[in-house]
Amino acid sequence: MKVNWKNWMFILVLSLLVTGCMTQVKQEHAKNKAKTQSKPAAQSAIQKLGDNKMDVVLFLKQAEHQLENVYYAAADNAKGKSVVEDGLVFRELPKRFDSKDKITGYFSRFWSRPLAEAMYDNMTTKLVKEKVYVAIPRVDYPTLISVRNTTVQKNNGELNVTVEDVTDPSFASDRTLRYRLVRDQKTKRFEIKSRMGAYGNEQFQ
């Protein structure tokens, strides 16, 4: 059987061309994907605080529930272990909250780093095999933050927020909270720089 070398050469060249084109397409696709992933995310309501009072209200509501969310994670951790010490029951936190860095990082989405660390320090925690366990407190601080009782003032890019009647009169006599929100230099997102007011203040000292 005679081999037609011209035909074989043609097929070989054609195969190489097709392979080269496919490789180039894959490389271009990978480059475009990388460019898309590297683009900064669109501004969120957190970055646009001040344009709409409701944005501020939603932000503060979330911020005030950060501690509760960590406690709830411990209570909801079905596979978590418990340790009893000095009459306190310490519950194992799930993986996303099993270290100080993870918890303070979670708080730092809303609170400045010093406040986030103060919040952690005021939790009753215990390290067991390098994992954080937490004792759920018996006292809570329910807050009522709405557009009706919140005042927002802009000042040189900062936001000064006052919330009146933040809780029921039966919980506290001083029911006014004042927040100072500033932009973080790195993330450009707003964070709570200070929280002034007697109600629930022991959680942040």
> Going from the N-terminus, what domains does the chain have, and what CATH number goes with each?
48-200 (3.10.450.420)
User: What pLDDT, in 10s, does the model give residues 70-114?
Assistant: 999 999 999 999 999 999 999 999 999 999 999 999 999 999 999
Locate 49 and state its tokens.
Answer: 């605080």
Rounded Cα distance, 159 and 49, in Å: 8
Model-level pTM greater than 0.95?
Answer: no
Rounded Cα distance, 91 and 83, in Å: 7
User: What pLDDT, in 10s, does the model give residues 12-48?
Assistant: 444 544 455 444 544 554 554 444 343 333 444 566 7
8 A C-beta contact, residue 197 and residue 165: no
Distances (CA, A) of 104 to 9, 56, 81, 123, 182: 66, 22, 22, 11, 18
Rounded Cα distance, 6 and 14, in Å: 12
Distances (CA, A) of 137 to 1, 44, 93, 122: 89, 33, 15, 11
pLDDT of residue 37: 40
User: What pLDDT, in 10s, does the model give residues 155-174?
Assistant: 988 999 999 999 999 999 99
Locate 104 and state its tokens.
Answer: 């303070």
| Residue 54 falls in which region: left (phi positive, over 0), alpha (psi -120 to 50) or beta | alpha
8 A C-beta contact, residue 50 and residue 58: no
In DSSP notation, 112-165 reads -HHHHHHHHHTSEEEEETTEEEEEPPS--------TTSEEEEEETTEEEEEESS
